[in-house]
A = this chain, B = another copy of it.
Amino acid sequence: METQSGVDQPCGMSLAIDVVGGKWKMHLMWVLAEGPVRFGQIRRKLEGVSEKVLAENLRQLEASGIVHRELYAEVPPRVEYSLTPLGESLNQALAPLEAWGDRNREELSARI
């Protein structure tokens, strides 16, 4: 991750982007929003992501205080990921952006 895009006084956007930037974190938020999920479940929902990258992204979101990781001492091991309150608030803030993308889906798909 490219922490703090070299701009003078980091605006809120910079911080947000540092948190959810990259190819998968946004999709991850989308999956996590539906409730606690296990590692394998996420992999299946986010078709195309490698184990390495998924693990990395989860660690980063965890470090940012967005995701909570609950390890159950069982055999076989079980781990559940969920959003923290901060993560929930981020999801709220993300909603308008998603709505925007939906509203302009036609126009954008044609151009990108």
A residues sitting closer than 8 Å to B (CB atoms) are 2-8, 10-19, 21, 23-24, 26-27, 29-30, 46-48, 63-65, 86, 89-90, 92-105, 107-109, 111-112
User: Is B112 a contact of A12 with CB atoms below 8 Å?
Assistant: no
Q: Which listed residue (B2, B7, B92) contacts A47, Cβ 8 A?
A: B7
User: Given A19-B108, A111-B63: A12 and B97 within 8 A (CB)?
Assistant: yes
**Complex Cα gap A21–B26 (Å):** 11
* Cβ-closest 7 pairs across A and B: A12-B101, A93-B100, A12-B102, A15-B101, A12-B98, A16-B101, A6-B48
Q: How far is the CA of A104 from the CA of B23 in the complex (A)?
A: 23
A49 nearest CB neighbor, chain B only: B6
CB-defined A-B contacts under 8 Å, sample of 22: A5-B23, A5-B24, A6-B48, A7-B27, A11-B27, A11-B98, A12-B103, A12-B105, A13-B27, A13-B29, A13-B97, A15-B101, A16-B100, A16-B101, A17-B26, A18-B108, A65-B111, A86-B107, A92-B100, A94-B96, A94-B97, A96-B97
